[in-house]
Amino acid sequence: RWRPWQQPDSPLCLPAPWDAPCCRDAWASVFRVEARADSVNASLASDAAVQLAPPGTHTRLHLPYGPRPVHCAILQLDGSAAYSLYAPTSANALCLGGDEGPLFDASQSMVDPWSSSCAPPPSMQAILSSGDVMLVPEGWWVASLAINASLAVWRPWVMPQQVPRFFEFHTCAAREMDAFRSRTASSTEVAELAERLRKQPGSPWCKDVLRVGRPGALVPGQACHAVLHLESFSPEGRGLQSSRLGPLPAPLVVMLGCGGPEPFRHVGELVRTMCVGELARAAVRTEPKDPRSPDLLIFELELLAVIAISKDRAAPAPPPRLPGGWSWFGDPENWLGAPAGHEPVDKVAEAKQIEHQQQQRQPHQTTLQPPQPQPQPHPQQPPQAPNPPQAPQPPQQTEGPQ
């Protein structure tokens, strides 16, 4: 607490260094940048992702948040996992060779640090246990391997020196999206396509092929994953959404015939008529809840790849059932169980037993309390007739003011 500018025996009374006029503006700018970083981190909390991984789960080598100028904070809540990290200068991490098909996302790599023979040595390795936190710097590639049942949270994090670049990056992405939404895509051709669909009341969609793909359309009913770029437009040709633009541009993966609900049901039917490499523009009917919304939309689709789901794999065994209806995704012998005082209890069987006991008591209660007979009038006394209505009496006059 030594304050040489406030010595009691000194005739000079100097201000604190951070209160001096020459330093006040500099300190204010520092505090202002830190406050903006806190505000940005609070807004990025919604981008946090929870990773629940069974033992042996691999996470592909990737850039956690693509080209965004942010760090990645990994919070290991439970279990343990091994992480391999590659510096941005490691060109081998961007290698696209391997047994898989091409990757259409530039923020992912086909290098597997644990099983690939051509994987270069990682720049850094770490094992996180419950309670550990690791900050992956911007531009670093990371892959993970769950040693046992792992529960972790991944979230973006911004340092004060990244705030200007963060706002510049998102401003440029928003400017590109605004330009896409303000332009009109071939309004004449779009209007003709929309009018053609309106003249076909029984058809859910119609399309024009802009670029022919490789022969071989999708087999109807075959379960597969379709990788495609999709851009949507209004009937007037005004841009709405695009998978090629935004902070994280990446193709969409649409699951077809996998038993679950398909997004854009008519779009899924349309994709099945396309070939890989085909670029098409289609008008698709919609079911708007708001009468002011358009009854159809225009889509431009580019089918990049089709990944068939192998049926040779054996069906996975059902997960073991534990008391109370609980289940676990690993070997029950490796499950550590719930903390003391939080063990699962079979409340379902107890509730069914109570309900069965209540059902058994209800018939006995009705026999022990028979309905009481209603009193009958005496036979010698005829029922009395209701009194006739009396005429209203005139109000009595009283002395004095009312």
At 182-207, the pLDDT tens digits run 776 666 777 788 788 888 777 888 88
pLDDT of amino acid 31: 60
Q: What average pLDDT does this structure show over 159-188?
A: 83
pLDDT of amino acid 161: 87
Asked whether 224 and 257 are in contact (CB, 8 A), the reply is yes
Q: What average pLDDT does this structure show over 162-171?
A: 88
Percent of the chain scored above 70 by pLDDT?
Answer: 63
Q: What average pLDDT does this structure show over 52-64?
A: 88
Residue 317, pLDDT above cutoff 70: no
- In terms of phi and psi (left: phi > 0; alpha: psi -120 to 50; beta: otherwise), the region of 35 is alpha
pLDDT of amino acid 85: 92
Q: Look at 192-206, 227-241, 313-327 and tell me which has the smallest mean pLDDT.
A: 313-327
Annotate 128-177 with DSSP letters as a single string.
E-TT-EEEEPTT-EEEEEESSSEEEEEEEE--GGGHHHHHHHHHHHHHHH
Q: Look at 7-21, 221-235, 245-259, 385-399 and tell me which has the smallest mean pLDDT.
A: 385-399
**pLDDT tens for each residue of 236-245:** 778 888 888 8
Residue 36 Cα to chain centre, angstroms: 26
Residue 391, pLDDT above cutoff 50: yes
Q: Look at 2-11, 215-224, 260-269, 310-319 and tell me which has the smallest mean pLDDT.
A: 310-319
pLDDT of amino acid 70: 92
Number of neighbouring beta carbons within 10 Å of residue 240 = 13
pLDDT of amino acid 36: 81
Read off the pLDDT band of 11 (50, 70, 90): low
Q: Look at 43-52, 155-164, 191-200 and tell me which has the smallest mean pLDDT.
A: 191-200
**pLDDT tens for each residue of 202-220:** 788 888 888 888 876 666 6
Q: At what angle do helices 21-43 and 163-182 cross, to 10 degrees?
A: 50
Tell me if the pTM is above 0.95: no
**pLDDT tens for each residue of 343-388:** 666 677 778 888 888 888 775 544 444 455 555 555 555 555 555 5
Q: What's the rounded Cα separation, in Å, for the pair 264 and 350?
A: 44
pLDDT of amino acid 208: 86
